[in-house]
Amino acid sequence: MNAQLAGVMVLAAVGSAPVFAADAKAEMAAVKAVDQNWLKAFKAADGDALASLYDDNAVLMPPGAPAVMGRAAIRAFLLKEAQGASQSGMAFSFGEKSDGGTNGNLGWSSGTYIVKDKDGKVVETGKFLSVNRKVNGKWMYWRDTWNADSMPPK
């Protein structure tokens, strides 16, 4: 009887592996979608849309500045950054390198970014790392940071 039960359990585990793989792929796609929604909201300088991507207790860790804690403070910080970029003609995009993963209600994404001036000249390249939490079925940024590949000009 124990051998039969063990056999059934093995079959169940093997048979469910593709389902888990599909779920993992869907979860990773959902985490990556948060990044794409962030980019869209930043380009539009939409503070509410940006803020909606962050957990109530999220922490934004921008380079060369103190940590920004909480959704309202993050909204204000990112809106100011997005408006400044828009007014100066800066264009922000993600690079081709990206990675990520999920495990339960935690996920992460990382990648590269490029900033171009109004003439299309690359003025900054860098990388980002975001830690996400799944809250009520929705992936949200919980910790978010980025930094440039080189020191800012003096």
Provide block-wise average pLDDT over 10 residues at a time, the chain (154 residues): 48 46 85 97 97 98 96 98 96 93 96 96 97 96 96 68
Per-residue confidence (pLDDT) for residue 24, from 0 to 100: 85
Per-residue confidence (pLDDT) for residue 151, from 0 to 100: 79
Per-residue confidence (pLDDT) for residue 20, from 0 to 100: 52
Which residues are paired to 55 by β-bridges? none
Q: CA 19, CA 31: separation in Å to the nearest integer? A: 18
* Cβ neighbour number for residue 85 with a 10 Å cutoff: 16
Per the CB < 8 A criterion, the answer to whether 112 and 94 are in contact is yes
Which residues are paired to 57 by β-bridges? none
Number of H helices, E strands in the chain: 3, 6
How many Å is the maximal CA-CA distance in the chain? Answer: 75
Per-residue confidence (pLDDT) for residue 18, from 0 to 100: 46
Q: Please, what sign has the CA dihedral across residues 124, 60, 30, 36?
A: negative
Tokens of 69: 């804690």
Q: CA 152, CA 130: separation in Å to the nearest integer? A: 22
Per-residue confidence (pLDDT) for residue 17, from 0 to 100: 44
Matching residue, tokens 């830690």: 131
Per-residue confidence (pLDDT) for residue 66, from 0 to 100: 97
User: Where do the structural domains in the chain lie, given as residue ranges?
Assistant: 2-148
Helix (H, G, I), strand (E, B) or coil at 130: strand
For domain 2-148, the CATH architecture is Roll (3.10)
Per-residue confidence (pLDDT) for residue 9, from 0 to 100: 46
